[in-house]
Amino acid sequence: AQTVTQSQPEMSVQEAETVTLSCTYDTSESDYYLFWYKQPPSRQMILVIRQEAYKQQNATENRFSVNFQKAAKSFSLKISDSQLGDAAMYFCAYRRSGAGSYQLTFGKGTKLSVIP
Amino acid sequence: DGGITQSPKYLFRKEGQNVTLSCEQNLNHDAMYWYRQDPGQGLRLIYYSQIVNDFQKGDIAEGYSVSREKKESFPLTVTSAQKNPTAFYLCASSKNRAPYEQYFGPGTRLTVT
């Protein structure tokens, strides 16, 4: 079974600084998808960024980028120029490729605080 | 605007009562999902449905039931058999093709006393 591990239960960052959240996963598959979701205090899950395992290029979305290391099974999220609105729980998630594999496997999350 | 709605936001029930949580989407997604979130935990899959009139158990289906009579709707019933029903429940939907991104509703906080 696939597992996703987020080893940092809590992190903090100074406003305007950069922070990196870690995620590792365990799989025997070669093709899969990885996601970072943000859960602010409202508790609605918001998709931040997606990475396809077959793509070597790291995904970026504005201030958010990932460092995808397939051999190491590592998928970290970098937030640049941190803003107060970035304060939230961040969840890493894994999904096998293929139409029959519907389950997203989530890590337990990292709580990010942004210090003004 | 397209999206997923869940109602109500907060729900209170007495122990022994069944309760149904609503989930509606207008994204024209084929697949829908129910997750449970407990403090300090990630999300755990309860049930999912790929198409109308078909659904599959997830990791923690015991004590729950679902139906999928319409593409837009996927209600979840928490039965009295669920031993620890107090939790935050999230509904999601996705297309049945890559990259299978799941989009979530705002959630329902269920408290059973």
Can you give the pLDDT at residue A101?
61
As a whole number, mean pLDDT of residues A80-98 equals 94
Could you report the per-residue pLDDT of B72-113, keeping only the tens digit for each? Answer: 999 999 998 888 999 999 999 998 877 788 999 999 999 999
Which residues of A are less than 8 Å from B27 in CB distance?
none
Q: Distance from first CA to last CA of chain B, Å, rounded?
A: 36
Residue A73, token pair as written in the block: 């099974």
Across the interface, do B48 and A52 touch by the CB < 8 Å criterion?
no
From A47, A95, A106, residue closest to B103, measured CB to CB: A47
Closest-CA residue of chain A to B41 = A108
Percent residues over pLDDT 70 in chain A: 97
Confidence of residue A15 (pLDDT cuts 50, 70, 90): very high
pLDDT for B42 equals 83
Of B42, B101, B106, the CB nearest to A109: B42
| Residue A24 pLDDT > 90 | yes
Structure tokens at A23: 């995620």
CA-CA distances (angstroms) from residue A68 to A28, A50, B60?
16, 11, 30
Q: What is the pLDDT of residues B54-75, one digit of tens each?
A: 999 999 999 999 999 999 999 9
Q: Per the omega criterion (within 30 degrees of 0), is the bond before A9 cis?
A: no
Q: Which residue from B98, B102, B105 is facing A104, i.e. has the nearest CB?
A: B102
Q: Give A103's DSSP letter.
A: P
Residues A80 and A22: beta-carbon distance below 8 Å: no
